[in-house]
Chains A and B, each alone.
Chain A
Amino acid sequence: MNRRRFLTILGSAGLASALSTAKTAHAAGGTHTWPYHENSYGVLHDTTRCIGCRRCEAGCNKVNNLPKPDKSFDDLSVLDKNRRMTPTSWTVVNKYELNGKPVFRKLQCFHCNDPACASACFAKCFQKQPDGSVAYDGSQCVGCRYCMVACPFYVPSFEYDDAWDPLVVKCTFCEPRLKEGKLPGCVEACPMDALTFGRRSDLIKVARARIKNNPGKYVDYIYGEWDAGGTAWMVLAPSAPVAASKDSHQATGHEFASLGLDTHLGNRPMGELTGGALGAVPMIVAFWPVLFGGAYAIAKRREAMHKAETETIVKEAKEDMAAAMDAAVRKIAETQGPGMADTARQAMADALKARENTCANCGHHGEDK
C-alpha cells in the first residue's frame, strides 16, 4: 500500500462517516436529537395571575434543602432588581413593567423539548427525560460551562465558590418528587395557581381555553409552545395594547419581550444550529490521529529508508575507491618503489577528500523529500 492509496482510503472513510452522522440526525425527525415524549409533563405559568409573593422561591428552597438566603422570602424589596438563577436559588421571580403596571414572571429552567445545553455538552451530562425534565448528572462534568453559553434562557449556573469540584446547577423540575407522585415545590407553593402542572399537551389546551374565554386579557400566544423547539414550561402574558399607530400590528407580542423573554429564538431547537458541526467532533477525534499519525509514519519511514540506501551506496563507492586506490598503489610500489607509492597514496587520498568535501555541499543538498 503506497501513501496515495492509504490517504484515499482514509479520506473516503472520513467523508462517509461525516455523511452518516448527518443522515442519523435527519432520520430522527430532521430537527430533534431527543424524541418527543407525548406524555411528558410541563408547567403553565400564567403571569396575569402571578402576584410576586415569592412563595415559589421559598417552596423550591425548602424541598431542595437549599441554604437559607441572606434576605428572607418575605422581603419583596429584592424584586426591585432583576435577578438570575444562582447555585443556591434555582428559581427567581422578577418584576417587569407593562403599560405602567407591574407584571411578575418566575424564572427557572424551561426544560426544553430539545435542550441546547445537552447539545453543547460533550460529556453528555444532560438528558431529556421521558417525564419532561432535563436532568443534569455532574459525575462526568468537566466544568467547561458550554451549557451556560448554549442555554437561550441563561439558566444553568456554576458553583464558582467551590474550588475543588465545581458543578453546574439548575432547576431539576423536582424530578425526585415527580417520581413520588408529588408536585414540584414551586407549583405546590403557589397560592394563585399561576403555575399549573400537567401534561404538556393538556396545558396547551388549558392555555388556549384561557385565551379564548378571556378576550382581551391575554396575548394570543403561548410562549414555549414552539419557541426554541418547544419547552416544557410555558408562559402566558397579559395583553397590553399599544396606542394605535401605523405599525401597531407589528408590535403584537411585544409583551413577552417586556417580560424579558426572547422572542427571536425561532421555532427550531437551538441544537440544530450546531448539531451538524458538533456531531463531527467524535469523527474527528477518532480519525484525525490515524490520518495524521499515518502520514507522519509514512514520511518518517521513507526518510529512514532513503538514508539507509544512500549510506549503502556511499559505503560501496568508498570501498570500490579504496580497492582501486590500493591496487594502483600496489602497482606503483612494484614498479617504482615504496617511496613513490607512499607519495601517490597521499596524493590520491588528498584528492578524494577534496572531492568529497565539494560533493557534500552539492550532492545531497537539492534533494527534496
Chain B
Amino acid sequence: MRNGTTLLLLAAIAVAGAAYLTLWDAGPVPAAPALTSVSDAPSAMVIFPVGEKPNPEGVGMKPVVFNHLVHENRVDDCESCHHTGETVACTTCHTVEGRSEGKFVTLDQAMHAPNIAKRVKGNTPQSCVSCHTEQLQRRECAGCHGIVKPTRSEAYCNACHNVAGLTKADMVAGIAGKLPAKRNAQLAADTLKARENPVQLQPTDGPYKVMIDGITDEYKANMFAHRRHVSSLMERLKDNSLASAFHSQPATLCSTCHHNSPLKSAPPKCGSCHSQRINPANPERPQLKAAYHLQCMGCHKGMNVARPLNTSCVTCHKDNEAKPVDGAAAKLGGK
C-alpha cells in the first residue's frame, strides 16, 4: 500500500460497482413474458383416475389439475412427456387398472415412478415425480431438499390431488372418461385461480437475528442472521413456479430447519427436542450442538456454499477467551 496502487485499484472497483448498481436500478425492469401455448391443448386440465371397471359411486383418488401451459414451456419437446410420440391424454393408455396399450403400466406408476430405467429403444418416459425429483438437484433447491425428503402425508399429496368445486357427478363422469371438455376446463381454471398467489410468510414475519446461545463454553454465542437467510432463499425461489406450487403452506419454506413441529410463524426452540446430551431413549436424535451443525452444514453443502469452511469454527462463533477449565467436558460431563 506504500505507493497507493492498491488503494487506487480499490477506489476504481468501488466506483465501477456504484456505477453498475445505479445503472441496474435505473434500467427498465423487463416484464416477464406471458406464456404462450405452442400446442392446441387446453392450458389446464383435470386428470381423472380413469378406470375400466364400473364405478357408479365415483370412488377414487382425488383428481389432479395439470397446468399444461406451464409444463409445455418447461420441457424440450412434447415427447418428453408424450413418450409414444402421439399427443394423446395419459389416461388413454394408462388407466387405474392398466391396459395392454400402456403395457399394463398403471396410472399410479406412470405418474409416480421415481426412477425410470433408461429405454434401449425410443424415448425414456418420465413420470411427474421423476422429473420433479430431478429439479431438486438445482442449487437453490438442493440445500433444503438434501435434508427434506418427500413423506406420504396428506399435505404432500394435496399439492397436486386437489380440485376445487368437484361434484360427485363430475367424478363419476371423469372416471368413465365422459366428462365434457368444457366442464373439465372450467374445473381446472377454477382450481388454478384458487391456487393463485398463495400466502407465504415473509422474511419480516420472522426475527431479524437470533441469538444461538444454548451452549457457550469454548465459543461465544452465535448471532444468526435469520432474516438474511430467509430472504436469500425466497429471492432465489421467487420465479420458481415449481417451488411456489409445492410450497403450498405459508410456512413450508420454514420447515427444513423448523422440522417435526407444527408449521407456524413461531416454532418451538431447537433445544425443546434436542437435548445437550444424547438421550438414550432417542439415540438417533442429534444432540443440540450437532443438530445445529448438521442443519447449517447440510444445507450449505447442498447449495455449494463455499464459505465458511466446516472446520473454521470461529467464523460463526467467536473464540471464548474465558474458557472453562475443562471445556465441553465439564459442561456435558454430567456435573
Contacts and interface: CB of A to CB of B under 8 A. Distances in A.
What interface size band does chain A fall in? 20 to 34
Contacts of B287: 193
Contact of B333 (A188, A192, A202): A188
Contacts of A190: 290
A171 interface: no
Interface string B282-313: 01101101110110010000000000001101
Contacts of B333: 182, 188
Nearest to A197: B278
A76 B333 CA distance: 27
Contacts of B290: 49, 190-193
B293 A191 contact: yes
Interface residues of B, number: 23
Nearest to B118: A244
B280 interface: yes
Interface stretch (A206-214, A272-280, A318-326): A206-214
Nearest to A215: B149
A62 B327 CA distance: 10
Contact of B297 (A51, A202, A209): A51
A189 interface: yes
Given A76-B311, A182-B333, A197-B278, A189 B149 contact: no
B334 A198 contact: no
B329 interface: yes
B284 A210 contact: yes
Contacts, number: 59
A149 interface: no
B310 A53 contact: yes
Contact of B311 (A52, A181, A203, A214): A52
Contact of A182 (B284, B293, B334): B334
A185 interface: yes
B242 interface: no
Contacts of A76: 311
Given A182-B333, A182-B334, A193-B290, A188 B328 contact: yes
A220 to B, nearest CB: 16
A191 B328 CA distance: 10
B294 A49 contact: yes
Given A191-B289, A203-B283, A181 B278 contact: no
Contacts of A59: 328-329
A196 interface: yes
A189 B287 CA distance: 12
B332 interface: yes
A76 B328 CA distance: 21
Given A192-B297, A198-B283, 15 more contacts: A49-B290, A51-B297, A53-B313, A63-B329, A76-B311, A182-B329, A182-B334, A183-B277, A188-B328, A188-B332, A188-B333, A189-B328, A193-B286, A193-B291, A209-B284
26 contacts: A49-B290, A52-B310, A52-B311, A53-B313, A59-B328, A59-B329, A182-B329, A183-B277, A183-B278, A188-B328, A189-B328, A190-B290, A191-B289, A191-B293, A192-B293, A193-B278, A193-B290, A193-B291, A193-B294, A198-B278, A198-B283, A203-B283, A206-B284, A209-B284, A210-B284, A213-B149
What 3 A-B pairs come out closest when comparing CB atoms?
A: A193-B290, A51-B310, A198-B283
